[in-house]
Chains A and B, each alone.
Chain A
Amino acid sequence: GEDVEQSLFLSVREGDSSVINCTYTDSSSTYLYWYKQEPGAGLQLLTYIFSNMDMKQDQRLTVLLNKKDKHLSLRIADTQTGDSAIYFCAEIEGIDKLIFGTGTRLQVFP
Chain B
Amino acid sequence: DTGVSQNPRHKITKRGQNVTFRCDPISEHNRLYWYRQTLGQGPEFLTYFQNEAQLEKSRLLSDRFSAERPKGSFSTLEIQRTEQGDSAMYLCASSYQSGEQFFGPGTRLTVL
A interface residues, Cβ below 8 angstroms from B: 4, 40-45, 88, 90, 94-103
Contact = CB atoms under 8 A, between A and B. Distances in A.
Contact of A102 (B4, B42, B105, B106): B42
Contacts, number: 48
Contacts of A4: 42
Contacts of B105: 40-42
A45 B105 CA distance: 13
A96 B95 contact: yes
Interface of B: 3-4, 31, 33, 35, 40-45, 48, 56, 91, 93, 95, 98, 100-106
B91 A42 contact: yes
B42 A96 contact: no
A42 B45 contact: no
A101 B37 CA distance: 11
A94 B41 contact: no
Nearest to B108: A40
A82 B72 CA distance: 37
Given A97-B56, A101-B42, 17 more contacts: A40-B105, A42-B91, A42-B104, A42-B105, A42-B106, A43-B43, A43-B93, A45-B102, A88-B42, A94-B56, A96-B33, A98-B33, A98-B43, A100-B43, A103-B40, A103-B41, A103-B42
A43 B103 contact: yes
Contacts of A45: 100-102
B75 to A, nearest CB: 15
A96 B91 contact: no
A97 B98 CA distance: 10
A29 B99 CA distance: 15
B103 to A, nearest CB: 4
Contact of B45 (A97, A101, A102): A97
A95 B53 CA distance: 15
A40 B105 CA distance: 7
Nearest to B4: A42
A42 B103 contact: yes
